[in-house]
Amino acid sequence: MTAYVTAALRSAHTRVAGRPWLVDVALGGGLTAFDMATLSGRTPAPSTVGVLLWGLQTVPLFWRRRRPRTVLGAMTVAFVLFEAIDPVPGKTPGPYFLIFAVYALARYAPAAVSAPWSALSLVAAAVTDLVGGRSPVPRLDSLEPITATTFAAFYVLAWLLGYGRRRIESDAGRLRALNERLRVERETNARQAVLTERARIARDLHDVVAHHVSAIAVQARSTEEGLRDGPALADVTRIAATADTALIEMRRILGLLSGPGEDAGPEPSLAHVDRLVSAAEAAGCRVTATLDPSAGAVPSAIQVSAYRIVQEALTNVVKHAGPTDVRVALRLDDDVLTVEVENGPAAAAHRPVPGSGRGLIGVRERVTAFGGTSHLGPRPDGGWRVRAALPLREVR
Protein backbone atom coordinates (compact mmCIF):
# COMPACT_ATOMS: atom_id res chain seq x y z
CA MET A 1 0.00 0.00 0.00
CA THR A 2 2.80 2.39 0.91
CA ALA A 3 4.59 1.68 -2.36
CA TYR A 4 1.38 2.33 -4.28
CA VAL A 5 0.84 5.69 -2.53
CA THR A 6 4.47 6.66 -3.11
CA ALA A 7 4.24 5.81 -6.80
CA ALA A 8 0.99 7.77 -7.11
CA LEU A 9 2.52 10.81 -5.41
CA ARG A 10 5.59 10.60 -7.64
CA SER A 11 3.41 10.38 -10.74
CA ALA A 12 1.33 13.35 -9.62
CA HIS A 13 4.46 15.37 -8.91
CA THR A 14 5.79 14.59 -12.39
CA ARG A 15 2.55 15.72 -14.04
CA VAL A 16 2.40 18.90 -11.98
CA ALA A 17 6.10 19.68 -12.56
CA GLY A 18 5.43 19.75 -16.29
CA ARG A 19 2.45 22.11 -15.79
CA PRO A 20 3.48 24.81 -13.27
CA TRP A 21 0.34 26.82 -14.07
CA LEU A 22 -1.64 24.17 -12.18
CA VAL A 23 0.16 25.17 -8.97
CA ASP A 24 -0.61 28.84 -9.63
CA VAL A 25 -4.27 28.06 -10.28
CA ALA A 26 -4.49 25.96 -7.13
CA LEU A 27 -2.77 28.63 -4.99
CA GLY A 28 -4.51 31.70 -6.37
CA GLY A 29 -7.86 30.01 -6.86
CA GLY A 30 -7.80 28.25 -3.51
CA LEU A 31 -6.95 31.37 -1.51
CA THR A 32 -9.46 33.47 -3.46
CA ALA A 33 -12.20 30.90 -2.89
CA PHE A 34 -11.36 30.86 0.81
CA ASP A 35 -11.51 34.66 0.93
CA MET A 36 -14.86 34.76 -0.81
CA ALA A 37 -16.23 32.12 1.55
CA THR A 38 -15.36 34.29 4.54
CA LEU A 39 -17.53 37.08 3.12
CA SER A 40 -20.65 34.94 2.61
CA GLY A 41 -23.45 35.35 5.13
CA ARG A 42 -22.17 38.65 6.52
CA THR A 43 -24.73 41.19 7.64
CA PRO A 44 -24.92 43.71 6.14
CA ALA A 45 -23.80 42.25 2.81
CA PRO A 46 -20.48 43.72 1.67
CA SER A 47 -20.49 46.21 -1.20
CA THR A 48 -19.21 45.41 -4.66
CA VAL A 49 -16.13 47.53 -4.03
CA GLY A 50 -15.49 45.65 -0.83
CA VAL A 51 -15.77 42.27 -2.58
CA LEU A 52 -13.44 43.40 -5.39
CA LEU A 53 -10.82 44.78 -3.02
CA TRP A 54 -11.08 41.68 -0.87
CA GLY A 55 -10.56 39.41 -3.86
CA LEU A 56 -7.63 41.45 -5.13
CA GLN A 57 -5.71 40.32 -2.05
CA THR A 58 -5.14 36.92 -3.70
CA VAL A 59 -6.29 36.93 -7.35
CA PRO A 60 -2.94 38.32 -8.66
CA LEU A 61 -1.23 35.13 -7.49
CA PHE A 62 -2.40 33.54 -10.75
CA TRP A 63 0.45 35.48 -12.47
CA ARG A 64 3.11 35.13 -9.77
CA ARG A 65 5.61 33.36 -12.10
CA ARG A 66 5.27 35.60 -15.15
CA ARG A 67 4.82 38.99 -13.44
CA PRO A 68 6.07 38.62 -9.84
CA ARG A 69 6.86 42.30 -9.36
CA THR A 70 3.45 43.38 -10.70
CA VAL A 71 1.75 40.79 -8.50
CA LEU A 72 3.42 42.07 -5.32
CA GLY A 73 2.64 45.67 -6.25
CA ALA A 74 -1.02 44.92 -7.03
CA MET A 75 -1.54 42.94 -3.82
CA THR A 76 0.13 45.66 -1.74
CA VAL A 77 -2.01 48.39 -3.31
CA ALA A 78 -5.16 46.30 -2.79
CA PHE A 79 -4.27 45.82 0.87
CA VAL A 80 -3.58 49.53 1.40
CA LEU A 81 -6.83 50.53 -0.31
CA PHE A 82 -8.87 47.99 1.67
CA GLU A 83 -7.40 49.21 4.95
CA ALA A 84 -7.87 52.87 4.03
CA ILE A 85 -11.45 52.56 2.69
CA ASP A 86 -12.57 49.85 5.14
CA PRO A 87 -15.38 48.70 2.80
CA VAL A 88 -16.31 45.69 4.94
CA PRO A 89 -16.74 46.84 8.55
CA GLY A 90 -15.04 44.60 11.04
CA LYS A 91 -13.16 42.72 8.30
CA THR A 92 -9.42 43.08 7.81
CA PRO A 93 -7.35 40.94 5.46
CA GLY A 94 -4.18 41.15 7.39
CA PRO A 95 -1.13 41.47 5.15
CA TYR A 96 -0.04 37.86 5.61
CA PHE A 97 -1.16 36.87 2.11
CA LEU A 98 1.56 39.20 0.82
CA ILE A 99 4.29 36.78 1.86
CA PHE A 100 3.24 34.50 -1.03
CA ALA A 101 3.94 37.35 -3.44
CA VAL A 102 7.22 38.15 -1.69
CA TYR A 103 8.34 34.54 -2.05
CA ALA A 104 7.40 34.52 -5.76
CA LEU A 105 9.25 37.78 -6.41
CA ALA A 106 12.42 36.56 -4.65
CA ARG A 107 12.28 33.27 -6.56
CA TYR A 108 11.55 34.54 -10.06
CA ALA A 109 13.28 37.95 -10.08
CA PRO A 110 16.91 38.99 -9.42
CA ALA A 111 17.79 39.98 -5.85
CA ALA A 112 18.49 43.55 -7.00
CA VAL A 113 14.81 43.79 -7.92
CA SER A 114 13.15 41.61 -5.30
CA ALA A 115 14.88 43.02 -2.21
CA PRO A 116 13.89 46.72 -2.59
CA TRP A 117 10.38 45.89 -3.80
CA SER A 118 9.83 43.53 -0.86
CA ALA A 119 11.09 46.17 1.58
CA LEU A 120 8.80 48.79 0.02
CA SER A 121 5.80 46.46 0.28
CA LEU A 122 6.63 45.70 3.92
CA VAL A 123 6.84 49.39 4.83
CA ALA A 124 3.63 50.22 2.98
CA ALA A 125 1.65 47.38 4.57
CA ALA A 126 2.96 47.96 8.09
CA VAL A 127 2.53 51.74 8.04
CA THR A 128 -0.98 51.45 6.58
CA ASP A 129 -2.10 49.01 9.26
CA LEU A 130 -0.42 50.79 12.14
CA VAL A 131 -1.43 54.33 11.20
CA GLY A 132 -4.63 54.21 9.16
CA GLY A 133 -6.02 50.73 9.56
CA ARG A 134 -7.43 50.99 13.10
CA SER A 135 -11.15 51.24 13.80
CA PRO A 136 -12.49 53.15 16.87
CA VAL A 137 -12.48 49.85 18.69
CA PRO A 138 -8.98 48.26 18.94
CA ARG A 139 -8.64 45.11 16.80
CA LEU A 140 -6.57 42.18 17.93
CA ASP A 141 -5.65 41.39 14.29
CA SER A 142 -4.22 44.86 13.69
CA LEU A 143 -0.45 45.16 13.49
CA GLU A 144 0.44 45.98 17.06
CA PRO A 145 4.22 46.46 17.55
CA ILE A 146 4.82 42.83 18.51
CA THR A 147 2.67 41.57 15.65
CA ALA A 148 4.44 43.97 13.27
CA THR A 149 7.78 42.53 14.27
CA THR A 150 6.47 39.02 13.68
CA PHE A 151 5.08 40.00 10.29
CA ALA A 152 8.41 41.58 9.32
CA ALA A 153 10.12 38.32 10.27
CA PHE A 154 7.69 36.40 8.03
CA TYR A 155 8.47 38.83 5.21
CA VAL A 156 12.19 38.27 5.60
CA LEU A 157 11.75 34.49 5.86
CA ALA A 158 9.60 34.40 2.70
CA TRP A 159 12.18 36.46 0.80
CA LEU A 160 15.05 34.25 1.99
CA LEU A 161 13.19 31.08 1.02
CA GLY A 162 12.42 32.44 -2.44
CA TYR A 163 15.95 33.71 -2.94
CA GLY A 164 17.40 30.39 -1.74
CA ARG A 165 15.18 28.46 -4.16
CA ARG A 166 16.27 30.77 -6.97
CA ARG A 167 19.93 30.15 -6.14
CA ILE A 168 19.40 26.38 -6.01
CA GLU A 169 17.63 26.37 -9.38
CA SER A 170 20.29 28.63 -10.87
CA ASP A 171 23.10 26.41 -9.61
CA ALA A 172 21.27 23.31 -10.84
CA GLY A 173 20.86 24.92 -14.27
CA ARG A 174 24.56 25.74 -14.42
CA LEU A 175 25.45 22.20 -13.38
CA ARG A 176 23.15 20.76 -16.05
CA ALA A 177 24.71 23.03 -18.67
CA LEU A 178 28.21 22.09 -17.49
CA ASN A 179 27.32 18.40 -17.54
CA GLU A 180 26.00 18.74 -21.07
CA ARG A 181 29.18 20.52 -22.18
CA LEU A 182 31.29 17.83 -20.55
CA ARG A 183 29.24 15.13 -22.24
CA VAL A 184 29.65 16.78 -25.63
CA GLU A 185 33.36 17.30 -25.02
CA ARG A 186 33.78 13.69 -23.91
CA GLU A 187 32.02 12.42 -27.02
CA THR A 188 34.06 14.76 -29.21
CA ASN A 189 37.31 13.62 -27.60
CA ALA A 190 36.30 9.98 -28.03
CA ARG A 191 35.51 10.51 -31.71
CA GLN A 192 38.76 12.41 -32.19
CA ALA A 193 40.69 9.66 -30.44
CA VAL A 194 39.16 7.07 -32.74
CA LEU A 195 39.96 9.11 -35.84
CA THR A 196 43.50 9.79 -34.66
CA GLU A 197 44.20 6.18 -33.83
CA ARG A 198 42.65 4.95 -37.06
CA ALA A 199 44.90 7.34 -38.99
CA ARG A 200 47.88 6.00 -37.08
CA ILE A 201 46.84 2.42 -37.74
CA ALA A 202 46.41 3.22 -41.41
CA ARG A 203 49.88 4.72 -41.49
CA ASP A 204 51.35 1.69 -39.75
CA LEU A 205 49.61 -0.68 -42.14
CA HIS A 206 50.70 1.48 -45.01
CA ASP A 207 54.31 1.21 -43.90
CA VAL A 208 54.00 -2.56 -43.66
CA VAL A 209 52.40 -2.95 -47.10
CA ALA A 210 54.77 -0.41 -48.64
CA HIS A 211 57.69 -2.48 -47.46
CA HIS A 212 56.44 -5.60 -49.24
CA VAL A 213 55.39 -3.72 -52.38
CA SER A 214 58.83 -2.12 -52.50
CA ALA A 215 60.35 -5.57 -52.32
CA ILE A 216 58.14 -6.66 -55.24
CA ALA A 217 59.24 -3.64 -57.28
CA VAL A 218 62.94 -4.24 -56.56
CA GLN A 219 62.69 -7.93 -57.44
CA ALA A 220 60.76 -7.11 -60.61
CA ARG A 221 63.41 -4.60 -61.70
CA SER A 222 66.15 -7.12 -61.00
CA THR A 223 64.35 -9.81 -63.04
CA GLU A 224 63.72 -7.29 -65.80
CA GLU A 225 67.42 -6.63 -66.14
CA GLY A 226 68.11 -10.37 -66.39
CA LEU A 227 65.63 -10.93 -69.21
CA ARG A 228 66.54 -9.93 -72.75
CA ASP A 229 63.27 -10.32 -74.62
CA GLY A 230 60.03 -12.25 -74.84
CA PRO A 231 56.60 -12.23 -73.20
CA ALA A 232 58.05 -12.73 -69.76
CA LEU A 233 59.89 -9.41 -69.99
CA ALA A 234 56.65 -7.51 -70.68
CA ASP A 235 54.95 -9.20 -67.74
CA VAL A 236 57.78 -8.35 -65.39
CA THR A 237 57.80 -4.78 -66.65
CA ARG A 238 54.09 -4.45 -65.91
CA ILE A 239 54.60 -5.90 -62.42
CA ALA A 240 57.34 -3.35 -61.72
CA ALA A 241 55.25 -0.47 -63.07
CA THR A 242 52.23 -1.57 -61.02
CA ALA A 243 54.34 -1.80 -57.89
CA ASP A 244 55.73 1.70 -58.49
CA THR A 245 52.21 3.08 -58.96
CA ALA A 246 51.01 1.35 -55.78
CA LEU A 247 53.87 2.92 -53.80
CA ILE A 248 53.05 6.37 -55.12
CA GLU A 249 49.35 6.00 -54.24
CA MET A 250 50.10 4.66 -50.76
CA ARG A 251 52.47 7.55 -50.04
CA ARG A 252 49.75 9.95 -51.15
CA ILE A 253 47.28 8.28 -48.76
CA LEU A 254 49.88 8.49 -45.99
CA GLY A 255 50.10 12.23 -46.51
CA LEU A 256 46.33 12.54 -46.17
CA LEU A 257 46.04 10.37 -43.06
CA SER A 258 49.05 11.63 -41.12
CA GLY A 259 48.32 14.61 -38.93
CA PRO A 260 50.64 17.58 -38.36
CA GLY A 261 53.89 16.51 -36.79
CA GLU A 262 53.07 12.83 -37.24
CA ASP A 263 56.10 10.69 -36.62
CA ALA A 264 57.12 9.20 -39.95
CA GLY A 265 60.06 7.22 -38.64
CA PRO A 266 60.68 3.56 -39.33
CA GLU A 267 57.92 1.18 -38.37
CA PRO A 268 58.32 -0.42 -34.93
CA SER A 269 58.27 -4.15 -34.27
CA LEU A 270 58.44 -6.57 -31.38
CA ALA A 271 62.21 -6.42 -31.65
CA HIS A 272 61.96 -2.88 -30.26
CA VAL A 273 59.93 -3.74 -27.15
CA ASP A 274 63.13 -3.65 -25.12
CA ARG A 275 63.29 0.10 -25.77
CA LEU A 276 59.90 0.54 -24.15
CA VAL A 277 60.98 -1.58 -21.19
CA SER A 278 64.16 0.49 -20.77
CA ALA A 279 62.14 3.72 -20.82
CA ALA A 280 59.77 2.40 -18.13
CA GLU A 281 62.69 1.25 -15.99
CA ALA A 282 64.31 4.66 -16.36
CA ALA A 283 61.10 6.13 -14.89
CA GLY A 284 61.54 3.92 -11.79
CA CYS A 285 59.34 0.95 -12.70
CA ARG A 286 60.45 -2.59 -11.97
CA VAL A 287 59.68 -4.38 -15.22
CA THR A 288 59.65 -8.11 -15.90
CA ALA A 289 59.39 -8.80 -19.65
CA THR A 290 58.71 -12.17 -21.26
CA LEU A 291 58.76 -12.33 -25.05
CA ASP A 292 57.91 -15.53 -26.89
CA PRO A 293 60.81 -16.12 -29.37
CA SER A 294 58.36 -17.28 -32.03
CA ALA A 295 56.44 -13.99 -31.80
CA GLY A 296 59.07 -12.33 -33.95
CA ALA A 297 57.80 -14.31 -36.94
CA VAL A 298 54.26 -12.89 -36.91
CA PRO A 299 53.19 -10.55 -39.71
CA SER A 300 54.56 -7.02 -39.58
CA ALA A 301 51.13 -5.44 -39.19
CA ILE A 302 50.47 -7.49 -36.03
CA GLN A 303 53.93 -6.62 -34.67
CA VAL A 304 53.28 -2.90 -35.14
CA SER A 305 49.96 -3.05 -33.31
CA ALA A 306 51.38 -5.20 -30.50
CA TYR A 307 54.24 -2.74 -30.07
CA ARG A 308 51.79 0.20 -29.91
CA ILE A 309 49.66 -1.61 -27.31
CA VAL A 310 52.69 -2.24 -25.08
CA GLN A 311 53.78 1.36 -25.61
CA GLU A 312 50.42 2.77 -24.55
CA ALA A 313 50.16 0.43 -21.55
CA LEU A 314 53.63 1.31 -20.23
CA THR A 315 52.99 5.01 -20.81
CA ASN A 316 49.84 4.77 -18.70
CA VAL A 317 51.74 2.96 -15.94
CA VAL A 318 54.30 5.76 -15.72
CA LYS A 319 51.59 8.44 -15.81
CA HIS A 320 49.03 6.95 -13.43
CA ALA A 321 50.91 4.53 -11.17
CA GLY A 322 54.51 5.78 -11.13
CA PRO A 323 57.33 3.54 -9.91
CA THR A 324 55.69 0.16 -9.41
CA ASP A 325 56.02 -3.49 -10.42
CA VAL A 326 55.19 -4.17 -14.06
CA ARG A 327 54.88 -7.42 -15.99
CA VAL A 328 55.02 -7.50 -19.79
CA ALA A 329 54.30 -10.76 -21.61
CA LEU A 330 53.91 -11.58 -25.31
CA ARG A 331 53.15 -15.14 -26.32
CA LEU A 332 52.02 -16.89 -29.48
CA ASP A 333 49.45 -19.68 -29.13
CA ASP A 334 47.38 -21.23 -31.92
CA ASP A 335 47.87 -18.33 -34.34
CA VAL A 336 46.89 -15.76 -31.70
CA LEU A 337 49.38 -13.24 -30.34
CA THR A 338 48.48 -12.35 -26.76
CA VAL A 339 49.81 -9.12 -25.26
CA GLU A 340 49.61 -8.62 -21.50
CA VAL A 341 50.81 -5.68 -19.45
CA GLU A 342 50.04 -5.66 -15.71
CA ASN A 343 51.15 -3.29 -13.00
CA GLY A 344 50.79 -3.14 -9.25
CA PRO A 345 49.14 -0.38 -7.18
CA ALA A 346 50.30 3.20 -7.58
CA ALA A 347 53.24 4.35 -5.51
CA ALA A 348 52.23 6.11 -2.30
CA ALA A 349 53.82 9.46 -3.16
CA HIS A 350 52.91 9.41 -6.84
CA ARG A 351 50.57 12.04 -8.22
CA PRO A 352 48.69 10.68 -11.23
CA VAL A 353 48.82 12.71 -14.42
CA PRO A 354 45.28 13.44 -15.72
CA GLY A 355 44.52 11.56 -18.93
CA SER A 356 41.93 11.90 -21.68
CA GLY A 357 41.26 8.18 -22.17
CA ARG A 358 42.30 8.36 -25.80
CA GLY A 359 45.06 5.82 -25.36
CA LEU A 360 42.70 3.08 -24.21
CA ILE A 361 40.33 3.92 -27.04
CA GLY A 362 43.27 3.53 -29.42
CA VAL A 363 44.13 0.11 -27.97
CA ARG A 364 40.56 -1.08 -28.51
CA GLU A 365 40.57 0.27 -32.06
CA ARG A 366 43.77 -1.59 -32.89
CA VAL A 367 42.47 -4.85 -31.47
CA THR A 368 39.13 -4.45 -33.25
CA ALA A 369 40.90 -3.75 -36.56
CA PHE A 370 42.32 -7.29 -36.46
CA GLY A 371 39.17 -8.96 -35.16
CA GLY A 372 40.69 -9.59 -31.74
CA THR A 373 39.52 -9.20 -28.16
CA SER A 374 40.72 -6.94 -25.37
CA HIS A 375 40.32 -6.54 -21.63
CA LEU A 376 41.35 -3.28 -20.00
CA GLY A 377 40.53 -2.69 -16.36
CA PRO A 378 41.65 -2.59 -12.74
CA ARG A 379 43.01 -5.54 -10.80
CA PRO A 380 41.74 -6.54 -7.35
CA ASP A 381 44.94 -5.25 -5.72
CA GLY A 382 44.48 -1.75 -7.10
CA GLY A 383 46.70 -2.21 -10.13
CA TRP A 384 45.76 -2.30 -13.79
CA ARG A 385 45.69 -4.93 -16.51
CA VAL A 386 45.81 -4.58 -20.29
CA ARG A 387 45.25 -7.78 -22.24
CA ALA A 388 44.84 -8.01 -26.01
CA ALA A 389 44.51 -11.06 -28.25
CA LEU A 390 45.41 -10.48 -31.91
CA PRO A 391 44.53 -13.35 -34.27
CA LEU A 392 47.04 -13.86 -37.07
CA ARG A 393 44.52 -15.36 -39.47
CA GLU A 394 43.11 -11.89 -40.17
CA VAL A 395 46.31 -10.82 -41.92
CA ARG A 396 47.44 -14.05 -43.55
Per residue in 163-215, pLDDT (tens digit) is 998 999 889 888 998 898 888 888 888 877 777 777 776 666 655 666 566 66
> Which pLDDT score, from 0 to 100, does residue 337 have?
93
pLDDT confidence bin for 331, thresholds 50/70/90: very high
Contact call for residues 317 and 285 (beta carbons, < 8 A)? yes
Closest CA to 163 of 105, 221, 208, 214: 105
What predicted TM-score, i.e. pTM, was given to this entire model?
0.46
The fraction of the chain above a pLDDT of 70, given in percent, is: 61
